[in-house]
Amino acid sequence: MHELHDNSGYINLTDKSSPEAIKEQLQMSKKNFKKAIGTLYKQRQIEIKTDGIYLV
């Protein structure tokens, strides 16, 4: 969530991103990333698009 706020509400990662890209940008595993974005998506705090994740 901090990463989204720090980057004007956008990160260029999706659930299809490589584990290496996720680790490099967010310092977390792909499993934890998917769990986190799933929770935020269910809470309607983010929008997942083909080019990245946007803060709602």
Domain that holds residue 32: 2-55
Mean pLDDT, the chain, integer: 94
> What total number of domains does the chain contain?
1
Is it the case that residue 44 has pLDDT exceeding 90?
yes
C-alpha triplet 36, 2, 52: angle, nearest 5°: 60
- With 0-12 / 13-18 / 19 or more C-beta atoms within 10 angstroms meaning exposed / middle / buried, residue 24 is exposed
Please report, for the domain that includes residue 8, its CATH number.
1.10.10.10
Per-residue pLDDT at 22: 96
pLDDT tens digit string along 16-33?
A: 999 999 999 999 999 999
